Amino acid sequence: MSIEPAFLSVQGVSYTYDDGSDVLSEIDWTIPAGGFYSLVGRSGCGKTTLLKLAAGLLQPTSGQVRIEAQTVAGPSQKIGFVFQTPALLEWLPVLDNVLLPISLHRRVQPEDRASALELLDLVGIGDLAGRYPGQLSGGQQSRAALARALIGSPPALLMDEPFAALDAITREELQDDLLRLVALRRTTVLFVTHDIAEAVYLSDRVAVMDRGRIALAAAIDLPRPRGGDCRYDPQFAGHCQRIRSAMAQAQAVAA
Amino acid sequence: MIGRHLPSLALLLVLLAGWEAIVRLAGISALVVPAPSAVATVLWDGLTVGFLWPHIWITAAETLMGFGLGCVVGFVCGVALGESERLRHLLWPYVLATQVVPKLALGPIFIIWFGFGMTSTVVITALICFFPLLENTMTGLQAASPEKRDLFRMLGAGRWQTLVRLKIPSGLPVVMAGVRVAIVLALVGAVVGEFIGSGKGLGASIIAAQGMMDSTLMFALFVAITAMGLLFYQLTLLFERWLLRGWLKGKVS
C-alpha cells in the first residue's frame, strides 16, 4: 500500500469560516491511487468541508490540496462527485442526466450514449434509461447519480454520505455495487459517512474526524472482495468498536 | 373526464334556469337584468350574422400581443435582475414603483403617445403581464438546490451554461405559474384598455352597448369575453403540461 504513489494529498490544510471560527485545522492526509478511504465523524466535525476542499469547491485558508502532485485550484474533471441527495435534473430522462458531464462540454456522440447505457447496466438500472428521475425510487436515483459521477471515467470519486437516506437493504446493495465498480475501474475513493459499519465495510482506511482534526486513522485489513458475511465477522466488529470508541472519546474530551 | 365536469355543468344549468325563472316571474326589466335566453339569442345572432367576430378578433389579437410582449420582456428582465445583484439593487425600486402605479391610469398618456386604438391597448396589456413574469422569473432562478449548483461547478459549467441548463429549467414551474397569472390579467387588461383607448374590440363594444342602454348585448359580450378567457387559460395549461412533462411524469407514479 505505502509504495503506491499518493493520488490525493492534503498538507497542513486549515479552513476558517468568514466569522473566524475554525472548521479544519492543520489536516495532513494522503490517499494512494486506487485506495478506498473514508471519513467518519459526527455532524459538524468538518468532514464535508474536507471533501469539498478535495473537490476544489472550497479553497483552504492555509495549506495545500494536491491531486496527482498538482495543486487543486478549482473543480477538476478528474473527480466525480456524488452528493448527499442524487441531485438529478428532473426535466431530463435518466440517460441525459448521466450524459450531463459530457453534454456540458461537447456534442454527445453515439459512443458516449453507448458507454452511458453500459454504465447504467453496471449500476443495475439499464432498463430505466428513458425514465424521468421522478419515476425512480430513492435507490434507483442514487444509482443514476453514481453512473453520472462515473461517466467520464474519472480516476477519483468523492462521495458525501451518498446512501444516508436509503433503507438498510438498499444501502447494502448499493455498497456492494459501489465496491464492485470501483474495483473494476481502479477508482480512488474518498467517502464521507456518519455510519461506522458502512465506513468499515467499504474502506481500506477510516479516519475519525473531530472538531476539525483527524482523531484516529485506522487501517481496515479485512480481506477483499468483501461479501455480506464479512459484516458479522468478529474482526469487523472489532474495527467498528475501535472507531466508535475513538469517536466517543473525542466527544468526551469536548464535553 | 366528462364525468368529472358533470356536476359543475349541472350547477350551471340550474343557475341559468333559476335566473330565467326569476326574471320572467318577477318581471324584471331587460335593462336591469336580461333573461339568459335573450342573452343567448343576441350572442347567437352576433356570431351567425357576424357583427361580433371582428371585435372578438381584435380583442384576442390585443390580448395575445400584449401577453406575448409582456411575458418576453418580463422574462428577460427577470433573468437579468435575477442574475445580477447589482442590477437588482439599482433597478428594483423603480420596477416596483412602475407596478404600483395603476396601469389603467396611464391609459390617457398612452393615447397621447401611441394614438387611439390597438397600440395603446397592447402596451397597457403588456405592462400588466410584465410584472408577474418578472417576479416569478426572479424567484424561479433561485429554485435550483445548492447541491445542483455545486454539481454544475464540479462539472466545469460556465455562468451561461449554469443559467440556461440549470437555473432556467429549475425555475420553469415557477415561471409558468406567472404565465398563468399573466394570461388572465392580459384579457382584463385588453378589455379595460379598450374602455379608454379604443373604438373596436369587445371592451369598446361594452361601452357602445352602454351608450345604447342595451344590457342584453352587454351580457352577451361578457359571455364572449369569459369564453375567450377560459379558452386562453386552457391553452396555457396545455402548453405548461407539455413544457413540464418531465416533472409531471415523475409526479404521476
Full-model pTM? 0.85
Amino acid identity, position A241 = Q
Please report which residue ranges of chain A form alpha helices under DSSP H: 47-55, 94-103, 110-122, 138-150, 168-185, 196-202, 234-254
In chain A, domain spans? 88-153
Closest CB to A75: pick one of B154, B161, B172.
B154
- Lowest mean pLDDT: which of A103-107, A214-218, A237-241, B171-175? A214-218
**pLDDT-above-90 percentage for chain B:** 70
Q: Read off the pLDDT of residues A173-218 as tens digits, 9 standing for 90 and up.
A: 999 999 999 999 899 999 999 899 999 999 999 999 888 888 888 8
Q: Is there a contact between A202 and A156 (Cβ–Cβ < 8 Å)?
A: no
In a domain, B171, yes or no: yes
The angle subtended at Cα B24 by Cα B21 and Cα B25, nearest 5°, is 80
In a domain, B2, yes or no: no
In a domain, B18, yes or no: no
Q: How many angstroms away from the CA of B117 is the closest CA of chain A?
A: 42
Kindly state the cell numbers that stand for B69: 410582449
Number of domains in chain B: 1
Q: How many angstroms away from the CA of B210 is the closest CA of chain A?
A: 50
Given a cut of 70, whether residue B253 has pLDDT beyond it is no
Q: Is there a contact between B185 and B40 (Cβ–Cβ < 8 Å)?
A: no
Residues of B in contact with A105 (CB under 8 A): 156
Q: Read off the pLDDT of residues B14-46 as tens digits, 9 standing for 90 and up.
A: 999 999 999 989 888 888 889 999 999 999 999
Most B CBs within 10 Å: which of A89, A98, A106, A108, as the mutation test of the B interface?
A: A89
Closest CB to A57: pick one of B150, B166, B253.
B150
> Cβ of B156 and A93 within 8 Å?
no
Q: How far is CA A82 from the centre of its chain?
A: 7
How does residue B250 score in pLDDT terms, banded at 50, 70 and 90?
A: low
In a domain, B212, yes or no: yes
Kindly state the cell numbers that stand for B187: 384579457
Strands A188-193 and A156-160: parallel
Question: What is the average pLDDT across A38-47?
Answer: 86
Q: Classify residue B24 as exposed, middle or buried by CB count within 10 Å of its CB (0-12, 13-18, 19+).
A: exposed
Exposure string (b/e) for A105-138, b if CB count within 10 Å is 16 or more?
Answer: eeeeeeebbebbbebbebbbbeebbebbbbbbee
Q: Is A116 on the interface with B (CB under 8 A)?
A: no
pLDDT recorded at residue A4: 58
> Cβ of B250 and A92 within 8 Å?
no
In a domain, B28, yes or no: no
Q: Which domain holds residue B192?
A: 35-244
Q: Is A182 on the interface with B (CB under 8 A)?
A: no
Closest CB to A135: pick one of B156, B244, B250.
B250
pLDDT recorded at residue B223: 94
Q: Which residue of chain A has the CA closest to B158?
A: A104
Question: What is the average pLDDT across B54-69?
Answer: 95
pLDDT recorded at residue A231: 85
> Cβ of A75 and B153 within 8 Å?
yes
Question: What is the average pLDDT across B148-158?
Answer: 92
Most B CBs within 10 Å: which of A52, A85, A91, as the mutation test of the B interface?
A: A91
In a domain, B75, yes or no: yes
Closest CB to A85: pick one of B147, B152, B251.
B147
pLDDT recorded at residue A255: 54
**pLDDT-above-70 percentage for chain B:** 98
Residues of B in contact with A134 (CB under 8 A): 246-247, 249-251, 253
Q: How far is CA A42 from CA A86, A192, A226, in A?
A: 22, 11, 26
CATH number (domain holding residue B206):
1.10.3720.10
How does residue B141 score in pLDDT terms, banded at 50, 70 and 90?
A: very high
User: Residue A11's beta-bridge partner residues?
Assistant: A64
Q: Which residue of chain B has the CA closest to A90?
A: B247
In a domain, B193, yes or no: yes
Residue A89 CA to residue A108 CA, distance in Å, equals 17
Q: Read off the pLDDT of residues A74-84 as tens digits, 9 standing for 90 and up.
A: 888 889 999 99
pLDDT recorded at residue A222: 85
Q: Is there a contact between A42 and A91 (Cβ–Cβ < 8 Å)?
A: no
pLDDT recorded at residue B148: 94
**pLDDT-above-90 percentage for chain A:** 51
pLDDT recorded at residue B2: 66
Residues 6+ apart with CB under 8 A from A61: A14, A15, A16
Question: What is the average pLDDT across A10-28?
Answer: 85
Closest CB to B153: pick one of A57, A93, A105.
A57
How does residue A253 score in pLDDT terms, banded at 50, 70 and 90?
A: low
pLDDT recorded at residue A252: 63
Mean pLDDT (chain B) is 90
Question: What is the average pLDDT across B158-165?
Answer: 93
pLDDT recorded at residue B5: 86
Q: Read off the pLDDT of residues B78-137 as tens digits, 9 standing for 90 and up.
A: 999 999 989 999 998 988 888 888 888 888 888 889 888 899 999 999 999 999 999 999
pLDDT recorded at residue A22: 76
Q: Classify residue A152 as exposed, middle or buried by CB count within 10 Å of its CB (0-12, 13-18, 19+).
A: middle
